[in-house]
Structure 1
Amino acid sequence: MPFEAEVPNIQVHSGEPIRVHEVFKFGGSSLGTAPRVLAAARATLAESNVSAVVVSANGNNTDHLIQLCDDKALLDEALTGDSKLLAKQLKTLIEQQTELARLCISDKYLNEYIELLHQDQNSISRWLNNGHPNLTRADIIAYGEVWSARLFALALEFLNEQNKNRKFTSSRWIDARNVLRFNKNGFCESTSFAKLQATLNQTKTTHERNINVITGFVASDHMGKTILLGRNGSDYSASLIASLLDAKKVTFWTDVDGVFSADPNSVSEARRRDELSYQNAFTLSQLGSPVLHHRTLSPLESNAIELTIRRLDTEYASNQNNTETNKLKVGSSIRHQDLNQKEDWIVHVKKDLALIDLECVPEQYPILLHFENNIGQLQTNSLNTALSLALIDPQLELLTLDNTHADFKHVSLISVITHNSHQLQDWFAQFFTQHNITPIQLLTMPNALVALVDDKQLDDGQSTASKDNIESLLHSALSNLHTELLVGLIGPGQVGGEVLDRIASLQPEANLAKRCRFVLLANSKQQVSLNELTQWSSTLNESSGLKQTADQDLVQFSKKLKSLVHTDTVQSVIIDTTGSDQVATYYSQFFSDGHHVITANKVAGSSHSTNYQLLQHVARDNAVKWLYESTVGAGLPVIQTIKNLIQSGDRIHSIKTVCSGSLAYIFNQYSQGTRFSEAIAQAKQKGFTEPDPRLDLSGIDIARKLVILAREAGANLELNDIALPNWLPNSVCDAPSLDIDKHANQLDAYFDSQVPTTPTALVPLAQIDFQYGIQTDQPGYIVANARLELTDVDSDSPFHGLLPGDNLFLIESEFYQDIPLVIRGPGAGATVTASGVLADLLTLLSSKHL
């Protein structure tokens, strides 16, 4: 088709032409049902800068009209005088369009619309029966756009009338055949500008706003006859009209969210590209993407018009008076931009193609991609000769051409569109080597890396990739290319959620943001892949049907994370922000799968020494780190400080600590006269305690911390070595759950009996004493004795006057005998615990592992 040629720059003429700020274009799928037509109309009315709208035919009307024109069997029957079946199909089409109109507009507008529709039906019927010589096949097919434009203009009038608060708007429909004219060479004639301006002047009224609805897909040739603009024709129409009107923006409303980093139907991790350069968009269209066509982009790029691709939500159909939702700018914007500042790479895979000598392809067959001088000559493996080749659809079954056998291969085109193509060409080649694939050819374009792969290699089982997963594998590898650490997080609750939100809020150039990528989440109900960190919460909420993360599913979580690591430069870490015994039992599995582990979960670190030492060995054997700074002191650098002292040759004599922010707060409030039960309720409300405060009040949380501290100091200590006080009555301990209001009297009476005098500064003081040189079966000959007591401290004690939620660690050692080392600060709450997790993440990134 001659109008497939690229359109030259369209210069806006001098004078005072009518200009628009933004052009909307709605595709057939966006106008296929009444809710969608109404949604499109409301979206248009909601944007005051839009005064020109280009529309495609409603739904599948164009396909139905083409079938009427081209169904040889029906037409042959009509020629013999039997046109009943043809008439029936036409009648069905008209009835469907009539019903669509009934659902979109009121009777005030409907009668006129139906009358015109029946006139068109008579014209089409006459042509189909060879009785309307003034019409052509293209004229018949163009009716789909005409019906759509008429209906859309009336829908705008109808909705505007319904909303009495909106400024009055006038809408008219314009037949693009009256304003867009192409010359013999397929270029849009310069006279189109004058025709469009004259038409808009004719439709301009005194109303505060005029919206012009223009048919897409159709135009006229130099003789004034109807021509159809082919694939993406309505997009092309919108681009031309936006250029002629010197628009700043054009928005294509479709049934997709925009341009993605890969096909979201094939790659679950595909992410929408908020911005895309025109250079990369052109390359994507050149490689056969159905989303964009190069002729659509040409007039926009040459006139610096921003193109946005957005999904039309039918929410507009149910929000007649609320158009605020339209102001949420989503989708993909294509514009000129600094390529050095934007990374808008896209993985594009075209499957089931045929590689064939271009000279053997007849002109009537569509060539998807023509490798010529602008890309580079292909080299065959068998011939040391440059051949110009083309990719065509193998469905054409070109087994013989001009009585000559066509030697072609079934291939897949695998490409990465990126401005860094030259820097990534070695990496691109290595990707195929890693998956045991030898491409027919690797090409480096200015904005893309392209591989032609024989489908046999993807189907024979010799490669670790297949036709079904090659796109996903390449996308994952590219996503991880500039990332050193892939992260799977278990427990996106208070602490985990704080970790995710903190990372998401960082600037892109921040160390953690650049070097870490969160890819998997799991909670007690499900596990999901994470594409956009800022949307982690909605990702969980929208995926309620996924697997339970129990038993085997935690193994699958680990295996899934491992499968995403495709290069030696990328490593993985699992962050556990739960308090779950079950999750802790899988640390050995995580280590064996090659994952580092960062945890706020104290269970594994305080488990029996046999298990603890086993975990240390498994981590060491797999060259991974196990970091748990936040298990003691939340975000305070307690564990790292003890490690530094030991590694520098110091010996710790004792550690005295108030290391439970929740208990410190509860007993502090009690000392000031608050009832015990009320103090517990306040601590729970502030997020200081576990969901069930009995876990804190049992003392087991403090005991676990003491075990971890003792082991960091080089001694062995077991949980059952520590005698814990009993601060709760048995009836409360044995209850299925803690109802503070219900158990208030029991809690208060029992605890008051444990504290006979009125305390002034009651604190849960824990202490570990270390003895050296004692012969035991443990390494280092260090014995640790630990205890926990509720103590009323004097005013001169460093533990007096702790702020609510504070932790304090007083360390006496050979280096710190006269003046103990003191670490003090907030030790409870999601915020500070998340800080400890992030500190471990930074420690991991700064270690020799990465």
Structure 2
Amino acid sequence: MTQINTLEQVDFAQNNLEKHSVNVHKFGGSSLATPECIERVISIIRQHCQLNDIIVVSANGKTTDLLLSLHQLALSGELLDTSLALLKEQQSALIFALLNADNASRLAGELEQDINQLVAWLSDNPLAFESDILALGEVWSARLLSALLNERICRSYYLDARDFLVINNARECRVDNPVSQANLANSRQGQKLAVITGFICKDQAGNSCTLGRNGSDYSATILASLLSAKNVTLWTDVDGIYSADPRVVPAARKLHRLPNAVARELGRLGNPVLHKKTLQPLTDDFSGTGSHLHVASSFDTKAAATEIGEFGQIARQELSVTHLNDLLLVSCEALKGSVAADVIAELSPVYSDKKQGQLVILASQQQALTNALAVLGAEVIFTPVSLIAAVGYQVALRLDIYGRFKRALKNDRVLRFVNSKQEHSIIALLPQETTPELLNKVHHEIVKDARHLGLVVAGLGNIGQRFLELLPAQLARVPALENVHLVGLVSSKKALIHTDGLDVSSALADFSEQATDYTNQDLVSWLKHHPYDEMILVDITPSEAFSFLYDEFFDLGIHVIGANKWAASASTDTYRALKNKAGKSGSLWLGNTTVGAGLPVNYALDDLIYSGDQITEISGVFSGTLSWLFEHYDAQKPFSVLLKEALAQGITEPDPREDLSGRDVQRKLLILARAAGFELSLEDINCQNLVPESLQGLSTEAFLQQADALDGYFEQQYRQAKEQQACIRYIARFSLEQGKVKAGVSLEVLARDDAFANLTPCDNIFQIKSHWYRDNPLIIRGPGAGRDVTAGGLHSDLVKACRQLVNKQHQVTLKGIN
């Protein structure tokens, strides 16, 4: 739902707003119930709306219920005074709490006139004026919000939908699109934000009508169709559509993207948020624009909305379970004939079988069906039933899901299993009520493995390419990665993001052909609106600038697997802030490959710390490059010659001074010390730079030309060590002694039998001492660099992250309901 220009920029971009596509924003009654709620709505409009957008409103809070109660009281001849006083008091309280004195006085006067008219309708002929009476709630809500927008944000006006929206009749509520579209075009005012009443309209004879309960949602999608709107957002009291009613099924998960056909089936079969008419104008859109519907929470605007539209294969894998109680199975011989078609058109039954002469209808429709069949004199049998259904794209054709659904109900009484005509649901008709226990059981069996994890890989160099080469086989054989979808590849300048997933077998080739330029904020913006249960970003870049984005990633709840050392070795304040933010948002931050490539040194430290041990010392050879150099150096050839050989073989960095400076080892020691629970900064770690000052400021080319200046120092160090039957190695050491921390990296003289002295060239070795490993240290040794081991280490972190995330539950936002 990214907006190009929102009302926050209206003073700067007002003349350009009309050029952008229209979006419709609908606010439900719970979103407008109190002054505090309306203040939130004002903030949402400021942040998310353009001047040419449409705002559709329901009546404030329970206003419609109160008006309906007044109508019922009038029909029964009971006194109205108390309810009328309460109605007026509630509306007046909203007006005077929100508006300035002049506007409050004006709206209060208009409210007084409306109350007088209401009294006249109730006294005269309440039955004839039912729709006019119920329409008052939306009129008051739209009038108040428009006045408030005029005060706070921009010029605004409100429209009574009865001035333009025409339907054929109150029973079918079929919109006369050409007439309504022309009327709406004539009613709109330029350079003003329109607030339009939901729920109400007029028929072709000009009589007031309502669109039924939850009709404001239907109004919003009707307007989207009439205006060829790009998006419709239903701002409501829940933060999306769930795989089951989250009030009943605590394990329900949000469905981030739903195909239109699946959403319509959910609405038809009892989803508590979607209603069957809501989607009809979008899926039967005569304008052909293909609008997308979003369901978002006005109580939690940071929560990702559910989007409904046309999507690819990943969205089509979504599954959910819904149910309906208070149903009737109708059996009648007359329903085998042509009568069935008329009844189906009239009542839209949940299920019909013309061959058997059976329908399943809502219990509330019993009288209407009885009246329709009475003229035929046919015997009708009504049997109370309920239904429970598995809903998903062509789910009836997915034999595995069908089997699991039946197995989940094997110990329950089921009258029959039936498929919807569109094959998007499997329905079980039950002779008893669907209980919460049954709903939870079926949901567990059907939806347990449907969690979708998005994966973005940043950094497509040597290691990044190897990571992607290994990915197809990993996805195929590791169960924890079953629902991982590669959705993005990012290099330093180009990106390829595909919400519906990239083909992992051709991802690099597709990147070469399709990637486009991007900015970091482009990436953050996409991640902000990603449609997955969780998003994992694998950072294989060497970029400090890219690590600065971690703060925003963690803000968004993005999980980071990093081979990038910059963030993990940042300043103490920055590192602490990142850790705190990741913890607060629930983001995982794994970085085993920041030290030791794929060696499990970080895992070992984590395990010891979480188990209650206390680390007292970490030491070893942490640089594969320096390991190779000093395992090979024997003073038979100059050190500079050996260094250039290592450079030619790709063992050193392009500028070997990066290795010889010790900074990389210093950062690795800092990362491990922090992992062990100590708060250090780089400045706390002494670092011996093996490059003399005279060579430090030169260009790489000049340094290599003068590298023989290194030879004398290293030959001297080697020969002095040899005289002691010892050797030289570049060692990192951290220790805790009597409460004092000591840390440094430097060239040391070691005995020939020292654990650090006899390594396979390029190997790393890590020695860990703790209370448990005091006398016999824990040693981890192996390749500290290399394409396969580093890429493998990243895959190890990915599997670990997925295992932690598979059962993660998000707090469901149900402000208005709870």
CA RMSD across the alignment = 5.3
1:255 is displaced (CA, Å) by 1.5
Unmatched tracts of structure 2, length 5 or more: 1-17, 454-463, 484-531, 537-556, 560-580, 588-601, 625-659, 680-732, 768-780, 804-818
Residue type of the alignment partner of 2:311? Q
Q: What do the CA deviations read for 1:48-83 (whole angstroms, capped 9, x no partner)? A: 26432111101110011000111368x523xxxxx4
What is the alpha-carbon distance in structure 2 between the residues aligned to residue 123 and residue 50 of structure 1? 33
Q: Percent identity?
A: 23
2:269 and 2:324 in contact (8 A); partners too = no
2:225 and 2:281 in contact (8 A); partners too = yes
> What does residue 132 of structure 2 align with?
139
> What does residue 160 of structure 2 align with?
175
Match of 2:310 among 314, 336, 341: 336
1:833 is displaced (CA, Å) by 9.6
Residue type of the alignment partner of 1:825? G
Q: Structure 2 vs 1, CA of residues 222 and 415 (structure 1 numbering), >3 Å: closer, same or farther?
A: same
2:155 and 2:192 in contact (8 A); partners too = yes
> What does residue 294 of structure 2 align with?
309
> What does residue 112 of structure 1 align with?
106
> What does residue 54 of structure 1 align with?
56
1:220 is displaced (CA, Å) by 1.0
Residue type of the alignment partner of 1:159? R
> What does residue 95 of structure 1 align with?
89
Match of 1:264 among 246, 251, 254: 246
Q: Structure 2 vs 1, CA of residues 507 and 420 (structure 1 numbering), >3 Å: closer, same or farther?
A: farther
> What does residue 276 of structure 1 align with?
258
Q: What do the CA deviations read for 1:78-120 (whole angstroms, capped 9, x no partner)? A: xxxxx4xx12221111111111122222223211111101111
What is the alpha-carbon distance in structure 2 between the residues aligned to residue 837 and residue 273 of structure 1? 28
Q: Residue 413 of structure 1 aligns to a residue in which SS?
A: strand
Q: What do the CA deviations read for 1:448-495 (whole angstroms, capped 9, x no partner)? A: 232315366988xxxxx9425224313444528x99xxxxxxxxxxxx
1:506 is displaced (CA, Å) by 8.4
Normalised to the residue count of structure 2, the TM-score between the two structures is 0.55
Residue type of the alignment partner of 2:25? F
Q: Structure 2 vs 1, CA of residues 762 and 387 (structure 1 numbering), >3 Å: closer, same or farther?
A: farther
- Structure 2 residue 670 is the aligned partner of structure 1 residue 685: yes
What is the alpha-carbon distance in structure 1 between the residues aligned to residue 437 and residue 225 of structure 2? 44
Matches within 5 A, 1:210-249: 210-249=192-231
1:836 is displaced (CA, Å) by 7.6
What is the alpha-carbon distance in structure 1 between the residues aligned to residue 134 and residue 410 of structure 2? 50
> What does residue 494 of structure 1 align with?
none
> What does residue 28 of structure 2 align with?
27
Q: Structure 2 vs 1, CA of residues 30 and 352 (structure 1 numbering), >3 Å: closer, same or farther?
A: same
2:404 and 2:446 in contact (8 A); partners too = no
What is the alpha-carbon distance in structure 2 between the residues aligned to residue 449 and residue 179 of structure 1? 37
Looking at secondary structure, tell me which structure has more helix per residue. Answer: 2
- Structure 2 residue 141 is the aligned partner of structure 1 residue 148: yes
Q: Structure 2 vs 1, CA of residues 685 and 602 (structure 1 numbering), >3 Å: closer, same or farther?
A: closer
Q: Structure 2 vs 1, CA of residues 469 and 434 (structure 1 numbering), >3 Å: closer, same or farther?
A: closer
Match of 1:370 among 341, 346, 350: 350
Residue type of the alignment partner of 2:321? H
Match of 2:319 among 346, 350, 358: 346
1:234 is displaced (CA, Å) by 0.9
- Structure 2 residue 349 is the aligned partner of structure 1 residue 390: no
1:428 and 1:449 in contact (8 A); partners too = no
- Segment of structure 1 superposing worse, 96-105 or 283-292: 283-292
2:217 and 2:278 in contact (8 A); partners too = yes
2:405 and 2:446 in contact (8 A); partners too = no
Residue type of the alignment partner of 1:258? G
Match of 2:179 among 151, 170, 191: 191
Unmatched tracts of structure 1, length 5 or more: 1-16, 78-82, 161-168, 316-325, 378-384, 460-464, 484-501, 521-529, 545-574, 586-600, 604-631, 637-671, 695-726, 749-757, 767-788, 809-821, 845-850
1:126 is displaced (CA, Å) by 2.5
1:837 is displaced (CA, Å) by 3.4
What is the alpha-carbon distance in structure 2 between the residues aligned to residue 276 and residue 634 of structure 1? 49
Residue type of the alignment partner of 1:334? I
- Structure 2 residue 438 is the aligned partner of structure 1 residue 467: yes
- Structure 2 residue 17 is the aligned partner of structure 1 residue 44: no
> What does residue 723 of structure 2 align with?
none
> What does residue 408 of structure 1 align with?
383
1:305 and 1:335 in contact (8 A); partners too = yes
What is the alpha-carbon distance in structure 2 between the residues aligned to residue 181 and residue 836 of structure 1? 59
In terms of Rg, which structure is larger? 1
What is the alpha-carbon distance in structure 2 between the residues aligned to residue 457 and residue 150 of structure 1? 43
Q: What do the CA deviations read for 1:263-300 (whole angstroms, capped 9, x no partner)? A: 33334443333322212222222223232233322221
Match of 2:269 among 287, 292, 296: 287
What is the alpha-carbon distance in structure 2 between the residues aligned to residue 133 and residue 409 of structure 1? 34
1:407 is displaced (CA, Å) by 5.2
What is the alpha-carbon distance in structure 2 between the residues aligned to residue 457 and residue 93 of structure 1? 37
> What does residue 761 of structure 1 align with?
748
1:139 is displaced (CA, Å) by 0.8
What is the alpha-carbon distance in structure 1 between the residues aligned to residue 132 and residue 60 of structure 2? 17
Q: Structure 2 vs 1, CA of residues 60 and 582 (structure 1 numbering), >3 Å: closer, same or farther?
A: same
> What does residue 357 of structure 1 align with?
330
Q: Residue 295 of structure 1 aligns to a residue in which SS?
A: coil
Q: What do the CA deviations read for 1:763-782 (whole angstroms, capped 9, x no partner)? A: 5987xxxxxxxxxxxxxxxx
Normalised to the residue count of structure 1, the TM-score between the two structures is 0.53
1:33 is displaced (CA, Å) by 1.6
1:365 is displaced (CA, Å) by 15
